Structure 1
Amino acid sequence: MPIAEDPEPRPSEGGEPGGSFPSGAGGKDPFADLVLDEEFVRSATVKEQSGRTRMLAARWKHTPPVDPGGRRSVNDGPAAPRRRFGRRPKLQVVDPWGNPRPARRRGGRWRTPLLVLLVVAGLLASLNVNAISRWISDHGSSKADAPVPTVAPETARPTTAPPSVDPGQPTVAHPWAGSPAEGWPTGAAGIEVPRAKAIGVFDEDQVAAQLKLVKDFLVASNLDPRVTAGGRPDAALAMLDTKAREKPAQSLDTPSEETNPTRWFSRFDARDAIPVDDTVKVQGWTKLDEDGNGGVLVHTDYTFVYALRPGPDAAKLAAEEPTDAPRPGTSPAPAGATAKPVSWTVTSAADVAGDTWTARTIIRRTADFRFYDPAKYRADPQKINISKSNSFAGNSSCTLHDGFFHPAFAQFDRPHPERTGPTADPYDHSKDLDGGSACKTLSRE
């Protein structure tokens, strides 16, 4: 038996029976010419793993390794950013060598043209600030196109003034901008009378006719387009009783500070103020009562708001000094006239641009209409008698008493030293009219 010191001998060189060699190489050693140089090692197709590699592979086959962390290879690239407070981490761009580089901003190509456009717009705005502000108020504001909440007619005197609204310059296109009356009823719809009932010597039907007569008078004297354009209010005069008609008719023929027809009628001089259209905003209330002597008493308190554009002579007339003297060309209206004198030159509304600045005049009127018992008084129960009346005009000249209201326009504004009274809110009809004659400064128009 062979031992380590005596290994098994190689096969003999052809001594086997049959004369064959197991290697098939005759008597030559097949590895005799093999040279184990560097070229032989590099050209090997199978490379034997190292002993440590085989040991670790066998161990990790059943027990995978655990990464202790804190160690990174240079081939791992940059570490992923950590999330802070649950936010998504920003992706970081790396170059082919693993070095971080700043990511390209999206939309960078349009930032420069936008910056140039903003600079040009700023220069244009600085050159014409007023035009830009008018354009924004008329076209750029979505509030002008937003629906305005409708305000129902009142049934009694309110306890507070109307709320303030965002200020805005009124124009022909938007004459109610910045006015709390924008949502008020329009025209006769704003005059609602209470339900009729029998009072004194009058039955329910007679009282209903009297209430309708009061409403018709308010419409004819304050809402008739011919009257507001400067015409004579003949329809309203015809509703008054004979004695009650004398003073209003005289004031129309010879207007003065003591007898000014604007006490009863809303009229504008078409040379300096023209209604934008036939729309008049109205808010107020009517109350039915008895006069204590068998008759009917109707209390009314209404505020009328008129939108006006400048007339052809508005700029010239606004530059004049305040005076009580009649204006040149002013003459009493003919007794039978129902419209403005033909000598007045009025610019058509179609010739006025929509961005022309307008103004508003706010007129509040309170009155007690009385229907006497015909058995006790010489009075027509189907005609109106005005036992008491009072009025206040916001935005009208305090020194001209020619039978018309004369509003001031912002584009022709001038100082008003004649306004010596306290500041008043023309939209506030929660309090009684004080009847003062001082010219007041308005808190809003």
Structure 2
Amino acid sequence: MPIAEDPEPRPAEGREPGGSDPSEAGGKDPFAGLVLDEEFVRSAAVKEQSGRTRVLAARWKHTPPVDPGGRRSVNEGPAATKRRFGRRPKLQVVDPWGNPRPPKRRRLEWRTPLFIVLTIAVLLAALNVDGLRNWYADHYGESSGTAPSAATTPAPTVAPETAKPTAAPPSVDPKQPTVTRPWAGSPAETWPTGAAGIEIPAAQAVGVFDEDQVTAQLKLVKDFLVAANLDPQVIAGGKPDGALAMMDRAAQEKPSRALASPDAEHDPTSWFPRFDPREAIPVGDTVKVQGWMKFESDGDRGLLVHTDYTFVYAVRPGPEAEQRAAASPTARPSAPDAPSDGTAKPVSWTLSPADDVAGDTWTARTIVRRATDFRFYDPGKYRANPQKINISMTKSNFGNSSCDTTDGYFHPQFRQFARPHPEVTGPKVDPYDHSQELETGHGCHQTSRS
């Protein structure tokens, strides 16, 4: 087959026999001393393009590139967006070739789930507006269905009295008390609670008793008032063993006789507030108290302590409250047996649950004022223990309690079970007014407020 010939004759390499050496290399490689270093590469007149440049040049030869308008050079840095709503300007992220990158998905912040929970709460409240109103009224407002106002804000508690007041407590708007607000509509709402309302005066030496002895005797009087009038077990119908233990042996005879066999002449409520749990159940353990205590020398006898306190008890109807209110005084059931262990029986002993009584959310209050004189005899002249209670005189007045029953318990009247009371023939009195002398023997009176 034919062979293509070179366009020009090859120079003699000098290796032919008898030939010449035109290159004058003496038979050596002319590129043997060539060094392809960095300087040589940089001095080259023609440079080879990168592979990506050749690919893009071939692509753009047929389809020229279109400027999207947002492209920036890598050297120019990221572009800043406009500032909106006082926030920081966002920096636009681009790739190495100037193309904008899509924004990354932001992580879920803590505000997002909070907004979701608040939205759900608002929707639930909108679906149950009445329930929300009732909840607010029970905790912060008035009775259900009444819009809360600034008047429902609890007033600050007044200080205990140090002497007999000169006027009755100011009147307040009458409101129906409930289990959640048992002191609504009562001046006692701002009174001290429990033992905080019984303040001991500053002691000093009196007669044969020095200052420390007088201090101990005044504290004993306060402890007795607390045990006799504020003990939840006694109020719920239990036996006042704690108060009886503080009394001198001779002083225990009358109250013990009254507790064992109560009658018109021996009424244990003259010393101890007790409610029949079948008829009235205390609302919690809170009792409002206001009054004063003072002491003086009793001459040769020793020390005389005067007390005048008003106790306000909130109760709700028991399981038999409705039928007892409808029954006549002569048909009233006999009193329950007093617990022998000195504690009140639990509610479960009643015939039916208290919640079954209609209108049991309405409550009532019984107001008891007691004026009592305590005497501590001189042990050098009398056979009496100066560390025990001796009652020289006691007078009591009750507001909102039946006058025709002497079974050893208070019998409050509940508004939801109201009935006529023909036995109430006495004058109308204010049970919260302890600015006047406590008088008894005016018959069965009616109260002006409760």
What is the TM-score when the length of structure 1 is the normalising length?
0.66
Structure 1 residue 371 corresponds to structure 2 residue 372 = no
Q: Which residue of 1 is the match for residue 365 of structure 2?
A: 360
Q: Which residue of 1 is the match for residue 326 of structure 2?
A: 319
Q: Which residue of 1 is the match for residue 435 of structure 2?
A: 430
- Describe the shift of the 1:413–1:349 C-alpha distance in structure 2 as closer, same or farther (beyond 3 A): closer
- Describe the shift of the 1:421–1:399 C-alpha distance in structure 2 as closer, same or farther (beyond 3 A): same
Structure 1 residue 414 corresponds to structure 2 residue 446 = no
How far, CA to CA, are the matches of 1:350 and 1:150 in structure 2? 32
| Code of the aligned partner of 1:219 | V
| Code of the aligned partner of 1:373 | D
Q: Which residue of 2 is the match for residue 216 of structure 1?
A: 223
Structure 1 residue 242 corresponds to structure 2 residue 249 = yes
Q: 1:140-179, aligned counterparts within 5 Å? A: 140-142=147-149, 145-179=152-186
Structure 1 residue 268 corresponds to structure 2 residue 275 = yes
**1:173–1:355 CA contact under 8 A, matched in 2:** no
How far, CA to CA, are the matches of 1:397 and 1:154 in structure 2? 29
Q: CA deviation at 1:427?
A: 0.2
Match of 2:333 among 307, 323, 328: 328
What is the TM-score when the length of structure 2 is the normalising length?
0.65
- Describe the shift of the 1:157–1:299 C-alpha distance in structure 2 as closer, same or farther (beyond 3 A): same
**1:311–1:347 CA contact under 8 A, matched in 2:** no
How far, CA to CA, are the matches of 1:156 and 1:240 in structure 2? 26
**2:317–2:414 CA contact under 8 A, matched in 1:** yes
Q: 1:162-311, aligned counterparts within 5 Å? A: 162-311=169-318
Cα RMSD, aligned residues only: 2.4
Deviations 1:351-396 (A, max 9, x none): 8999811100000000000000011111000001000000000000
Match of 2:391 among 376, 380, 386: 386
**1:200–1:294 CA contact under 8 A, matched in 2:** no
Q: CA deviation at 1:437?
A: 4.5
- Describe the shift of the 1:342–1:410 C-alpha distance in structure 2 as closer, same or farther (beyond 3 A): closer
Q: 1:55-134, aligned counterparts within 5 Å? A: none
**1:311–1:346 CA contact under 8 A, matched in 2:** no
Q: Which residue of 1 is the match for residue 124 of structure 2?
A: none
**2:300–2:378 CA contact under 8 A, matched in 1:** yes
**1:138–1:144 CA contact under 8 A, matched in 2:** no
Q: CA deviation at 1:337?
A: 2.9
**1:333–1:341 CA contact under 8 A, matched in 2:** no
Q: CA deviation at 1:322?
A: 2.0
- Describe the shift of the 1:373–1:417 C-alpha distance in structure 2 as closer, same or farther (beyond 3 A): same
Q: Which residue of 2 is the match for residue 47 of structure 1?
A: none
Deviations 1:129-163 (A, max 9, x none): xxxxx985675232574121321100000000000
Q: Give secondary structure in 1 for the equivalent of 2:223.
A: helix
Q: CA deviation at 1:174?
A: 1.1
How far, CA to CA, are the matches of 2:171 and 2:160 in structure 1? 18
How far, CA to CA, are the matches of 2:363 and 2:209 in structure 1? 47
**1:254–1:332 CA contact under 8 A, matched in 2:** no
How far, CA to CA, are the matches of 1:422 and 1:242 in structure 2? 39
| Code of the aligned partner of 1:165 | V
Match of 1:401 among 406, 422, 426: 406
Q: Give secondary structure in 1 for the equivalent of 2:394.
A: strand
Deviations 1:255-288 (A, max 9, x none): 0111000000011011111111101000000011
How far, CA to CA, are the matches of 1:257 and 1:279 in structure 2? 29
| Code of the aligned partner of 1:179 | S
**2:375–2:390 CA contact under 8 A, matched in 1:** yes
Structure 1 residue 338 corresponds to structure 2 residue 343 = yes
Q: CA deviation at 1:290?
A: 1.1
- Describe the shift of the 1:135–1:287 C-alpha distance in structure 2 as closer, same or farther (beyond 3 A): closer
Q: CA deviation at 1:399?
A: 0.7
**1:282–1:305 CA contact under 8 A, matched in 2:** yes
**1:421–1:438 CA contact under 8 A, matched in 2:** yes
How far, CA to CA, are the matches of 2:324 and 2:163 in structure 1? 40
Deviations 1:18-63 (A, max 9, x none): xxxxxxxxxxxxxxxxxxxxxxxxxxxxxxxxxxxxxxxxxxxxxx
Gaps of 5+ in 1: 1-133
- Describe the shift of the 1:284–1:346 C-alpha distance in structure 2 as closer, same or farther (beyond 3 A): farther
Q: CA deviation at 1:223?
A: 0.4
Deviations 1:58-97 (A, max 9, x none): xxxxxxxxxxxxxxxxxxxxxxxxxxxxxxxxxxxxxxxx
How far, CA to CA, are the matches of 1:341 and 1:429 in structure 2? 34
Higher relative contact order (CA 8 A, sep 6+): 1
Q: Give secondary structure in 1 for the equivalent of 2:329.
A: coil
How far, CA to CA, are the matches of 1:144 and 1:297 in structure 2? 44
Q: CA deviation at 1:333?
A: 2.1
How far, CA to CA, are the matches of 2:317 and 2:239 in structure 1? 21
Aligned length: 310
Q: Which residue of 2 is the match for residue 92 of structure 1?
A: none
Q: CA deviation at 1:334?
A: 5.0
How far, CA to CA, are the matches of 2:382 and 2:351 in structure 1? 47
**1:167–1:178 CA contact under 8 A, matched in 2:** yes
Q: CA deviation at 1:342?
A: 8.6
Match of 2:446 among 434, 441, 445: 441
